[in-house]
Structure 1
Amino acid sequence: MEASVEDIVIVGAGIAGLATSLGLHRLGIRSLVLESSDCLRVTGFAFTTWNNAWKALDALGVADSLRQQHQQIHGMVVTSTTSRQPPSEKSLKSEGKYGEPEIRCVRRKLLLEAMARELPIGTIKYSSKVVSIEESGYFKLVHLADGSILKTKVLIGCDGVNSVAAKWLGFKKPAFAGRSAIRGFSDFKCSHGLEPIFLEFLGDGVKSGFLPCDDQTVYWFFSWRPSSQDKELESNPAEMKQFVLSMLNNLPDKVKTVLENTALDSIISSPLRYRHPWEVLWGNITKGNVCVAGDALHPMTPDLGQGGCSALEDGVVLARCIAEALTKTRQRKVGETAAGELDKDEFRMIETGLNNFAKERRWRSFELISTAYVVGFMQESKGKIMTFLRDKIFSAFLVGLLIKRAEFDCGKLIIS
């Protein structure tokens, strides 16, 4: 079968993939996004967006519409369910490096739809599962499950924790963190009555959190260290719901109401996986004209709320690096190379652009993965000493740590 030729192929229409494609589009560069599902995937329901995410969304030109649909979170309350310590209450209105923190819980569906709407028709190709990658001179051949082949100058893997591109680059499968998470989304017919506050509950090896998205919807999560008997929960939403309710029966009634109101098709369970941080430092984020971004690059535990935020950062930085490389190539070779060709000089410029992306994102990814793992370990550890440290010391510093890791500016979509 003859391969069709594309300048840039992005594998995965998740947050990182769509952000990269939209960033390229804003800079006048076309890309093709391959999505294995037959529609946009909204697994996870919602995620916390911190300052760094909003800077990326502003750069992509979709922030204002999302702000109108999601209320701002003004504070965080961390409560121990196993001690008599009073809750740790922190305002999220204090001034940081980039001014007052902006935190909202954004519905994943609305974010993906907002980015997809801004892309030219035909940019996303659904039901396109990538099964292998092959080299063909300076090009990469992308083999799809339906037997078709794409030939591309640039290949970007944004295909999640089971990334085909990451495997091609030599990354190992992400490691199991020893914890699992049940996530849910509760949609009320009228107001849920919760304040715009991030409520987090810690104790006895488990953690749960509740974040309003707007006046009628609440996103919640529950994470714990599962036993072998808990395996069956992953495929049974009804049992998941009852399990969480039984584990959190001492929470305030208004919070338990959120769990009780959650529809069964709005509950999922998944193991928490992360990439060992030293792999990001020493591994191949990019090789030639192939690179990875988002969860394909830096899967992390959700304890910082930075998985989706850092994927948005990746998209802006990667689009800028690729655009700079391709713009220089086009300026240098106007009229010299026929469409669809790729010579050594152009390949080297693309390689340099992707290497620049890797340099910008390597330490940032290392920092986020490492911090998220440590925060999760502290919050879900058992024992008198760890409980004392968590309740007396760590909880007081948690909000400041979360804000600190969000004090990052990925920059504008401007090329030099």
Structure 2
Amino acid sequence: MDAGTSRKAIVIGAGIGGLCTALSLQQQGWRVAIYDKATSLREAGAGIVLAANAMKALDLLGIGETVRNVGAPVIQADIRKWDGTIITSLPAAKQAALYGTQSYVIHRADLQAILVQAVTDTTTIQTNKQWIDGTQSEQGVKAVFQDGTQEYADVIIGSDGFHSAVRERLFGQSPVRYSGYIALRGVCTQEEARNTTQGGGFEALGPGKRFGLSSLGNGRVFWFAAINAPQGKLPPVKERQSELLRQFHGWYNPVVSAIEATEASTILAHNIVDRPLLSKWSSGRVTLLGDAAHPMLPNLGQGGAQAIEDAIVLARCLRNPDIPAALSAYENARMARTNRIVRMSRSMGRMVQLENPFLIYCRNKLLASLSDARYISRFDPIIGYEL
């Protein structure tokens, strides 16, 4: 790159992690170009939970208040049995007081729109661009795309998600780890769901399955169902609603009401998967971020939060003009934390998807016995984290 110009970064992927990376680098004076293989910017999915650590990271990016205005605060969070009987209520208010912010739930598309609005003044976003390679030299790195586009930069950041082309190019194919359960998700209105929880939500636990519902703001709720199943046994679109109603027949009323109230064609279904942990994320002037670096199961609600944290730490490390050294420092700063959360999320999944009646009884007794202080202490290293 020319010595007289500001440094330039190419970000592969225009999801939450990629957009936060662009925003964070802009704050450090970088020029950023984002490329995404999708034909248009559209964030798939339904709701995303942003715990206190994510909200504080978004505050550092200057968009925390906008997210608070659009999303819904988590004021109440209950864990129930399948029939609605309360097991325990999580100390949401005490955590908010301790950390200085509530957790929030927001629709992924709303969060993406906020981020796009924040970065587009000085960042270019190009869609329908499939990255295929990065050629490096001492002076910089060249990004090569399937349509023949080539662009030079100081660094390439692969934030292209679970199926990352950058990850595969750097480190080869890595196997998919199936969790043992599938997830279905949807959005409906608060009134239609007959949700009695205002400003928060609940998770209901049954044998080999669970159902979570959270307020999204603007009268909407987001719900998910996780069901133990053989890998690849996703119900087709036309059967998803009827299969959910069969699986959750007789459950706590808002569960059934939310399923019935959701437009059947909009219900999403996924195998819940992650990948083996990598021993490194970077090679020369190319690195990984978010799900491309450390895909994790959604059981702790930290996938998006960790991508946002990655973005801020990476930009700080890139103050060092020695790009390979900066990327090494980024790995050293982030890898132990994200690996821990990947492992904790796997463990949490095993606990909440139990099928054995005796183990379920023991789990519920344990959850009911946890004091607020013990619960907060258990998750403080994740939610109380300060960048």
Indicate the residue corresponding to 1:198 in structure 2.
201
SS state at 2:385 partner = coil
CA contact (8 A) 1:92 1:101 kept: no
Q: Does 1:313 align with 2:309?
A: yes
CA contact (8 A) 2:129 2:145 kept: yes
Structure 2: unaligned runs, 5 residues or longer: 1-6
SS state at 2:242 partner = helix
CA distance in 1, matches of 2:181, 2:259: 20
Equivalences, count: 375
CA distance in 2, matches of 1:352, 1:95: 37
Indicate the residue corresponding to 1:217 in structure 2.
220
CA distance in 1, matches of 2:293, 2:232: 32
CA distance in 2, matches of 1:126, 1:229: 30
Indicate the residue corresponding to 1:130 in structure 2.
131
CA distance in 2, matches of 1:296, 1:396: 38
Indicate the residue corresponding to 1:103 in structure 2.
103
Q: Which amino acid aligns with 2:309?
A: E
CA contact (8 A) 2:31 2:123 kept: no
CA contact (8 A) 1:182 1:269 kept: yes
CA distance in 1, matches of 2:26, 2:38: 22
SS state at 1:213 partner = strand
Deviation at 1:112, TM superposition (A): 1.0
Q: Which amino acid aligns with 1:202?
A: L
Deviation at 1:198, TM superposition (A): 2.3
Indicate the residue corresponding to 1:177 in structure 2.
179
SS state at 1:221 partner = strand
Scaled by the length of structure 2, the TM-score of the pair is 0.89
CA 1:268 to 1:95, structure 2 compared with 1: closer, same or farther past 3 Å?
Answer: closer
CA 1:15 to 1:380, structure 2 compared with 1: closer, same or farther past 3 Å?
Answer: same
CA contact (8 A) 1:50 1:102 kept: yes
CA distance in 2, matches of 1:308, 1:245: 29
Bigger CA drift: 174-183 or 31-40?
A: 174-183
Indicate the residue corresponding to 1:339 in structure 2.
none
CA distance in 1, matches of 2:103, 2:332: 28
Aligned pairs (5 A) from 1:131-150: 131-136=132-137, 138-150=139-151
CA contact (8 A) 2:36 2:129 kept: yes
CA 1:228 to 1:274, structure 2 compared with 1: closer, same or farther past 3 Å?
Answer: closer
CA distance in 2, matches of 1:101, 1:31: 30
Scaled by the length of structure 1, the TM-score of the pair is 0.83
CA distance in 2, matches of 1:199, 1:32: 40
CA distance in 2, matches of 1:267, 1:58: 32
CA contact (8 A) 1:101 1:403 kept: no
Deviation at 1:142, TM superposition (A): 2.2
Aligned pairs (5 A) from 1:2-401: 7-81=8-82, 86-95=86-95, 98-100=98-100, 102-119=102-119, 120=121, 123-136=124-137, 138-170=139-171, 172-187=174-189, 194=196, 195-227=198-230, 230-231=233-234, 233=235, 236-276=236-276, 279-280=277-278, 283-322=279-318, 324-325=319-320, 329=321, 349-394=322-367, 396-397=369-370, 400=376, 401=378
Q: Which amino acid aligns with 2:310?
A: D
SS state at 1:141 partner = strand
SS state at 1:132 partner = strand
Bigger CA drift: 120-129 or 374-383?
A: 120-129
CA contact (8 A) 2:296 2:345 kept: yes
Q: Which amino acid aligns with 2:256?
A: K
Q: Does 1:408 align with 2:385?
A: yes
Q: Which amino acid aligns with 2:180?
A: G
CA contact (8 A) 1:174 1:299 kept: no
CA 1:64 to 1:97, structure 2 compared with 1: closer, same or farther past 3 Å?
Answer: closer
Deviation at 1:122, TM superposition (A): 5.3
CA 1:135 to 1:229, structure 2 compared with 1: closer, same or farther past 3 Å?
Answer: closer
CA distance in 2, matches of 1:368, 1:112: 24
Q: Which amino acid aligns with 1:58?
A: D
CA 1:136 to 1:130, structure 2 compared with 1: closer, same or farther past 3 Å?
Answer: same
Deviation string, structure 1 residues 41-68 (Cα, Å, up to 9, x no partner): 3112211110000011101111111111
Deviation string, structure 1 residues 96-131 (Cα, Å, up to 9, x no partner): 795355111111111111111122265111111112
CA 1:17 to 1:395, structure 2 compared with 1: closer, same or farther past 3 Å?
Answer: farther
Q: Which amino acid aligns with 1:80?
A: K
Deviation at 1:245, TM superposition (A): 1.8
CA 1:264 to 1:143, structure 2 compared with 1: closer, same or farther past 3 Å?
Answer: farther
Identical pairs, percent: 23
